[in-house]
Structure 1
Amino acid sequence: MNIAIHFEIPVRDLARAIRFYEQVFELELERTSIDGNEMALFPLDEAAPGCSGALARGESYVPSLDGTRIYLRVGDIELAMARALGAGAKVLYPVTRVSEQIRVAEFQDPEGNRIALQEMARP
């Protein structure tokens, strides 16, 4: 069993965050409201391993460079970082090989969050 089942990325400006994440990850987010908080849900494939999450705007959601660090999987880390920078992100940790099969990088999104990317080489 994988322990992670859901994540929420705090945002101040949900519309701006949606534009950023849709551009960087080339996907469509679904806007909704949950328990009085504005959310934008990442796609979820219940048949696939891993979890999904949301962008979240509400009183208890405070963007930060500190705290929990989430790693989002990408197929091409160089391309994803280029899209992030083009959409207003700042490099916090450049693309770095951490093992024979894994490369990682980190950026600060326009909301002020530290987001990590991970690319795994295909066997």
Structure 2
Amino acid sequence: MKATNPVIYFEIPVSDLKRAEQFYTAVFNFSFEKEKIDGYDMALFPFEEKDSGITGALAKGHAYKPTKDGVIIYFKTENIDECLSKVLQNGGKTLYPKKTDKKHGFSVAEFEDSEGNRIAVHETINNY
């Protein structure tokens, strides 16, 4: 089997799907498609097969428990400072302030979303 990027999909647990959709739309300008999958309410993140990366969903149901413990998902952003500002404006919290790795040319930060999940953001720095 050819080696590829092994992760293809993620689900972010939510307690209030509408609130979570509003939060992620305000922070990242995402639009969602609503689906009921295996009896669970889902709001699917945008995805195009031709682009690289993975997709996922906000997922609500008894099997989904928001948490700051466990796997951390990184979203790409063009500007971490603006992103964290939108997080704070929309009821989130900064958990790990922006740190820049000059050697590898990127910055990262982590925040708590509207549901209590730990989410990270990644910004590529081109001038290093």
What TM-score do the two structures reach when normalised by structure 2? 0.92
Q: 2:117 matched to which residue of 1? A: 113
Aligned residue identity for 2:79: D
DSSP 3-state at the match of 1:104: strand
Structure 2 gaps, min length 5: none
Aligned length: 123
Q: 1:20 matched to which residue of 2? A: 23
In 2, the alpha carbon distance for the partners of 1:96 and 1:30 equals 33
Q: CA deviation at 1:65?
A: 0.5
Of residues 48-57 and 99-108 in structure 1, the stretch that sits farther from structure 2 once superposed is: 99-108
Post-superposition Cα deviations, 1:73-115, rounded to whole Å, max 9, x if no partner, equal 1111111111111101011000110244110000011101000
1:104 aligned to 71, 92, 108, which one?
108
Q: 2:58 matched to which residue of 1? A: 55
Q: 2:9 matched to which residue of 1? A: 6
Map 1:34-53 → 2, pairs under 5 A: 34-53=37-56
1:78 aligned to 77, 81, 104, which one?
81
In 1, the alpha carbon distance for the partners of 2:70 and 2:25 equals 24
DSSP 3-state at the match of 2:63: coil
DSSP 3-state at the match of 2:87: helix
Matched, 1:66 2:69: yes
Aligned residue identity for 1:118: H
CA RMSD of aligned residues (A): 1.1
In 2, the alpha carbon distance for the partners of 1:23 and 1:29 equals 12
Structure 1 gaps, min length 5: none
Matched-pair identity in %: 46
Post-superposition Cα deviations, 1:33-72, rounded to whole Å, max 9, x if no partner, equal 1000000011001111110111000111000000111111
Q: Report which of the two structures shows the higher radius of gyration computed on alpha carbons.
A: 2
Runs of 4+ more than 3 Å apart: none
What TM-score do the two structures reach when normalised by structure 1? 0.96
In 2, the alpha carbon distance for the partners of 1:84 and 1:8 equals 19
